[in-house]
Amino acid sequence: MPVQKISRKEYLLSKILVNPETGCWEWQGYIMPKGYAQACFHSVHALAHVAMYEELVGPVPEGLILDHTCHDWRVCEGGKACPHRRCANPDHLEPVTYLENNRRSNSNSAKQGRQTHCKHDHPLSGENLRIGPDGKRICRQCASNRKRSPEYQKWQYAYYRSERYKELEEKRKRRRT
């Protein structure tokens, strides 16, 4: 029997099943531990959705990654159980920057970025919003409330009585004279 020669495009198309409800092209081959589909053509491994995009649309623009637009962080938690990661429908793929891809996910930084209020329901915007040195968003109201809390004042009182504080005060006095 002669060896059947099929193109990469034919191979990819033979491995998908179209979900009539979502339109997703669900990969029927190997699914990697993180939920992505893996294509293996002539011993060359590739992400199936990327390979499909290359075959049907063209190369992914440099510096961009393919985002699954069928995945919506509002309804899908993401992660390895996400059924969209294995989708190879080029119509469900959009080249975006890594940052944009992260923004469309449920990562901790994306979740924080979407928060409009702190856990005490103060607005995380305008005057009340401060960006910390690590890029984290800080509620000014909560920060000042913490300073007024008895625990903080106790800590402050202890600090003023500590040896370290006395040392610093001595130094300051010496500098003044």
Kindly list the residues in this chain that would bind Zn ion in the complex (CB under 5 A): 24, 70-71, 76, 82, 84, 87, 89, 92, 118, 120, 122, 139, 141-142
C-alpha 154/C-alpha 14 separation (Å) is 70
Q: In the bound complex, what is the minimum distance in angstroms from residue 20's beta carbon to Zn ion? A: 12
Q: Minimum distance from CB of 177 to Zn ion (Å)?
A: 44
Residue 51: how many CB atoms within 10 A of its CB?
A: 22
Taking the least distance from each CB to Zn ion, the nearer of 102 and 141 is 141
Give the max Cα distance, the chain: 101
Q: What is the separation of C-alpha 42 from the centre of its chain, rounded to a whole number of angstroms? A: 33
Nearer to Zn ion, 6 or 23 (CB): 23
Looking at residue 103, the DSSP 8-state letter turns out to be: H
**Based on CB atoms, which residue is closest to Zn ion, 2 or 135?**
135
Smallest gap from Cβ 68 to Zn ion, in A, equals: 6
Q: Work out the angle at residue 130's Cα, subtended by the Cα atoms of residues 127 and 134, and round it to the nearest 5 degrees.
A: 165
Q: Between 46 and 69, whose beta carbon lies closer to Zn ion?
A: 69
Q: How far is the CB of 58 from Zn ion (least distance, A)?
A: 19
**CA gyration radius for the chain?**
27
Report the nearest approach of Zn ion to the CB of residue 162 (Å): 30
Short-list 27, 13, 98, CA closest to 63: 98
Distance, CA of 23 to CA of 18 (rounded, Å): 6
In the complex with Zn ion, the residue whose CB is nearer, 8 or 83, is 83
